[in-house]
């Protein structure tokens, strides 16, 4: 479906959803869309907003513009929807979250018993450096990752983020001002040397 056709059908859906019969198609879809746009702009702002909301809801529920327009025998909305019931999302436990992550891991790359990711979950352990390098190659943030050997399990490898360099308090290239050169005083005589 081309852009003009989508736009014309969407405008017809918006108008039909609030009980305004759309103007019959004329010539091309682009011309029809322009006529429907003018017809859509005629009602007041509140009616247009209601038309958009209702049309978009119908489009979302039906899955396509053609099905949504076909389902409109009578106007769907003459009153705005006032009651909104939010859907409570079920949060997963930490174990469920880790199981979701671990499902994508091979049994040959088990979680490390001591090393942790930034989110606190166990890191994936690669049995060889080659496998770890291949895993590194599949990451989206390769420039921020490095491969290193596990400090607890010899022979296993991890991927880890490179820590950003910390700004040093002392700049090594900064030329320090030499201390003030005071004359040497001999302590024995109390005279200058």
Mean per-residue pLDDT of the chain: 78
Contacts of 136 (CB under 8 A, 6+ apart): 142, 145, 146, 147, 159
The most confident of the ranges 38-42, 121-125, 165-169 is 121-125
91-115: average pLDDT? 89
pLDDT at 134: 92
When pLDDT is cut at 50, 70 and 90, the band that residue 76 belongs to is very low
N-term to C-term CA, the chain:
98
15-21: average pLDDT? 81
Q: What is the pTM of this model?
A: 0.40
42-64: average pLDDT? 83
116 alpha carbon, distance to own chain's centre: 23
143-159: average pLDDT? 92
pLDDT at 176 over 70: no
49-74: average pLDDT? 75
Take residue 27 and report the two structure tokens written for it. 């010539």
Give the residue from 22, 64, 74, 72 showing the smallest Cα distance to 43: 22
120-140: average pLDDT? 91
Of 47 and 176, the structure prediction assigns the larger pLDDT to 47
Question: Residue 119 in contact with residue 110, Cβ under 8 Å?
Answer: no
pLDDT at 190 over 70: no
pLDDT at 95 over 80: yes
Q: How would you classify the pairing of strands 111-116 and 122-124?
A: antiparallel
pLDDT at 22: 82
């Amino acid at each position: 479906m081309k852009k003009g056709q989508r736009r014309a059908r969407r405008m017809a859906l918006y108008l039909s959803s609030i009980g305004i019969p759309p103007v019959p198609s004329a010539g091309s879809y682009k011309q029809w869309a322009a006529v429907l746009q003018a017809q859509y702009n005629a009602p007041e702002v509140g009616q247009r907003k209601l038309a958009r909301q209702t049309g978009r809801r119908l489009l979302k529920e039906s899955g396509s513009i053609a099905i949504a327009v076909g389902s409109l025998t009578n106007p769907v909305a003459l009153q705005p929807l006032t009651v909104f019931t939010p859907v409570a999302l079920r949060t997963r436990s930490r174990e469920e979250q880790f199981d979701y992550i671990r499902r994508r891991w091979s049994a040959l790359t088990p979680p490390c018993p001591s090393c942790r990711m930034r989110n606190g979950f166990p890191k994936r352990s690669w049995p060889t450096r080659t496998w770890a390098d291949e895993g590194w190659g599949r990451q989206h943030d390769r420039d921020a990752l490095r491969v290193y050997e596990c400090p607890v399990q010899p022979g296993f490898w991890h991927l880890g983020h490179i820590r950003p360099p910390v700004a040093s308090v002392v700049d090594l290239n900064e030329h320090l001002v030499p201390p003030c050169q005071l004359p040497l005083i001999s302590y024995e005589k109390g005279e200058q040397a």
